[in-house]
Amino acid sequence: MNVATLDFSIGLRCRVCGKLYPKEAINFCKDDFGPLEADYDYEAIARNISRAKIEKRPKNMWRYRELLPISGEPSVGPQVGGTPLVKADRLADALGVQNLWIKNDAVNFPTLSFKDRVVSVALSKAREFGMKTVGCASTGNLANSVAANAAAAGLESFILVPASLERSKILGTSIFGSNVVAVDGTYDEVNRLCTQIALKYGWGFVNVNLRPYYAEGSKTFGYEIAEDLGWRFPQHIVCPMAGGSLIGKIHKAFTELNKVGLVDQANTCKMYGAQATGCNPITDAVKTGKERHKPIRKPVTICKSLAIGDPADGYFAAKLIRESGGWAEDVSDDEIIEGMSLLARTEGIFAETAGGATIAVARKLIEQGRLPRDEEIVLCITGNGLKTLDALYEAIEPPVNIKPSLAEFESLVVGHEPIVA
Amino acid sequence: MPVKIEIPSPLRDHTGGKTEVAATGTTVQIALADLVSQFPSIASKLFDGGKLRPYINLFVNDEDIRYLDDMDTAVADGQVIAIIPAVAGG
Ligand SMILES: Cc1ncc(COP(=O)(O)O)c(C=O)c1O
Ligand SMILES: [Zn+2]
């Protein structure tokens, strides 16, 4: 079969008025500026896909390629995804729940966050469009991923980030030879600037004019959860939110799996969103019953990856959370650090601040009785702790320091009996 | 000297290709009304039932008007109002 026929996307559809647009580098409707989303011929996908077909393919995100909006072979990020779904029994005990899983994108390839999923779709599309220069506005992880994947694909990149970002996230971008621009301003200001640049220069900004393609990459996080559970859905998902895209795409992934016949069960999964209290526009909208979020002008939190004060998908995320029967919560910086250490100490997984927020929010929702203790819960870990060490230097005790002397060591381990006296 | 309104490329069909339009007015609301009087077909793109569409952001000298006085934000001669599509980022 001609690989190009594997493209089952039919175009981009406005989420406000439903108008269908051709597959171009455009992210909003020309009539109402509403967001565009990839649409597919699901009946054709259903005829062309099967569990057996997927299971024969390599364990990466492209095994679900019929449900992604690219034509031909992916030319960027062919090995992204396929991250572990971990049964988290020790964390479950600590949180007082019975059935807990962690989807661990802290070890996603190549840049250790779920953003490699979105970037590989966006940049594969950028190359289909013949673009040579790409870029993004980023809270950090996207910067790392666009820089790395663009480097590997031989694309020039311009990456704009708030100047206040963690040093490691900036270094982890510059190393790839990108043009990194640190902007004195919030993420929203960086993002507005990128919209102006994308409109003016026509470059491929993954989360601006390539955003409809970019966003679809997140669905693979959901497909993998369902497949690894044995082609079924969990009852509850807790997901960190910045722009509010990922949470919606995980839910969309489940709905699609049912629609194309890969999972029989209807999608009744309840979605729970996590943010930091210092930047909580979406959780605030859910908790106070606002239809539209109130933007936060100046986020103040150690959780910089989630610090988007005016999330593009805030409205849709809040709506989904309410309609799915889930809920949303936010947590303080101290709780985020406690969440990071709890996950590390119980499961041996070092997540970044967004993961700390997710764990801490899950704990809060369990204590509030909103997450039932006896039902199946999946926590989304989306980025790696080695990237946000800045948040920990003050919080984590430095190691005990001794001379290379057995006596000094033994003064630390009173209570342990030596095997030979 | 009037206020300058920056027109993003998707709206330029309605401004005869102009990237910038000079308008008069002491607030964002009044300046946009002047823009609409010059280029009437832009009205339905910017407004729905008299209200600014939710996926459009307006900036006065690079500051989001939602953090100022919204449509009542004062504008002075020579200042720039930018119209920018809101669906980006994340
Ligand atoms: C580690 C991490 N988790 C979650 C998110 C949230 O993703 P979204 O913007 O799709 O809500 C981000 C976004 O930047 C992130 O960096
Ligand atoms: Zn529309």
In this prediction, what percent of chain B has a pLDDT beyond 70? 99
* The pLDDT value given to residue A72: 86
Bridge partners of A162?
Answer: A183
pLDDT score of B90 more than 90:
no
Rounded Cα–Cα distance for residues A179 and A170 (Å): 11
Average pLDDT score over chain A = 96
Average pLDDT score over chain B = 95
Host H or E run for residue A102: strand A99-104
The nearest alpha carbon in chain A to B83 belongs to A196
> Nearest-CA neighbor of A73 among A3, A9, A155, A123?
A3
> Which of A146, A188, A246 for a ligand 1 pocket mutation test, highest count of atoms within 8 Å of Cβ?
A246
Q: A36: CA distance to ligand 2 center in Å?
A: 8
Residues of chain A positioned with their CB less than 8 A from the CB of B89: 137, 187-188, 191, 194, 207-208, 243, 308, 311-312
Q: Which domains does chain B have, with CATH numbers?
A: 3-85 (3.10.20.30)
* The pLDDT value given to residue A302: 97
pLDDT score of A4 more than 70:
no
CB contact under 8 Å between A194 and B88, yes or no, is: yes
Cβ of A138 less than 6 Å from ligand 1: no
Q: Around B57, how many Cα atoms within 13 Å sit in the side-chain half-sphere?
A: 26
Is some CB atom of chain B closer than 8 A to the CB atom of A23? no
Residue A2's pLDDT band, with cuts at 50, 70 and 90, is very low
> Nearest-CA neighbor of A157 among A165, A167, A138, B44?
A138
pTM: 0.96
> Nearest-CA neighbor of A365 among A236, A267, A252?
A236
Rounded Cα–Cα distance for residues A416 and A137 (Å): 53
Is some CB atom of chain A closer than 8 A to the CB atom of B84? yes
pLDDT score of A3 more than 80:
no
CB contact under 8 Å between A34 and B57, yes or no, is: no
Q: Give the largest CA-CA distance in chain B.
A: 38
pLDDT score of A289 more than 70:
yes
> Nearest-CA neighbor of A113 among A77, A157, A62?
A77
Quickly tell me which residue has 């109402």 as its tokens: A32
Q: What is the pLDDT of residues B15-55, one digit of tens each?
A: 999 999 999 999 999 999 999 999 999 999 999 999 999 99
Q: A334 to each of A237, A339, A348, B32, how far by Cα in Å?
A: 23, 9, 20, 46
- Residue B23 · residue B33 · CB < 8 Å: no
Cβ of A257 less than 6 Å from ligand 1: no
> Nearest-CA neighbor of A263 among A237, A227, A228, A238?
A227
* The pLDDT value given to residue A1: 43
* The pLDDT value given to residue B1: 66
Mean pLDDT of A324-345: 98
Mean pLDDT of A158-175: 95
> Nearest-CA neighbor of A88 among A273, A351, A386, A343?
A343
Q: A268: CA distance to ligand 2 center in Å?
A: 28
Amino acid at A280: N
Q: How many residues belong to chain A?
A: 421
Residue A421's pLDDT band, with cuts at 50, 70 and 90, is low
CB contact under 8 Å between A32 and B89, yes or no, is: no
Quickly tell me which residue has 């449509």 as its tokens: B71
Backbone phi, psi, residue B23, to 5°: -140, 155
**B 46-65: CB under 8 A from A:** 48, 53-57, 59, 62, 64
Instruction: State the Rg of chain B over Cα.
Output: 12
Rounded Cα–Cα distance for residues A187 and B90 (Å): 9
CB contact under 8 Å between A192 and B59, yes or no, is: yes
Quickly tell me which residue has 């980006």 as its tokens: B88
Mean pLDDT of A393-420: 92
CB contact under 8 Å between B87 and A34, yes or no, is: yes
* The pLDDT value given to residue A42: 98
Mutation target for A interface from B19, B20, B66, B87: give the one with most A CBs within 10 A: B87
Residues of chain A positioned with their CB less than 8 A from the CB of B60: none
CB contact under 8 Å between B88 and A211, yes or no, is: yes
Rounded Cα–Cα distance for residues A357 and B8 (Å): 37
Mean pLDDT of A183-208: 95
Of residues B48, B55, B89, nearest to A191 (C-beta): B89
Three-state DSSP class for A87?
strand
Of residues A34, A188, A245, nearest to B55 (C-beta): A34
- Residue A116 · residue A145 · CB < 8 Å: yes
Backbone phi, psi, residue A151, to 5°: -60, -50
* CA A352 to ligand 1: nearest atom: 1
* CA A383 to ligand 1: nearest atom: 1
A-B CB pairs within 8 A amount to 86
pLDDT score of A415 more than 80:
yes
Amino acid at B34: D
Q: Which domains does chain A have, with CATH numbers?
A: 3-79+115-214 (3.40.50.1100), 85-110+218-391 (3.40.50.1100)
Q: What is the pLDDT of residues A221-263, one digit of tens each?
A: 999 999 999 999 999 999 999 999 999 999 999 999 999 999 9
CB contact under 8 Å between B54 and A30, yes or no, is: no
Three-state DSSP class for A156?
strand
Cβ of A9 less than 6 Å from ligand 1: no
- Residue A34 · residue B10 · CB < 8 Å: no
Q: What is the DSSP string of B34-74?
A: HHHHHSGGGHHHHEETTEE-TTEEEEETTEEGGGTTGGG-B
Residue A348's pLDDT band, with cuts at 50, 70 and 90, is very high
Q: Which two tokens stand for residue A312?
A: 């593009």
Q: A115: CA distance to ligand 2 center in Å?
A: 27
Cis peptide before A110 (omega within 30 of 0): yes
Rounded Cα–Cα distance for residues A401 and A26 (Å): 57
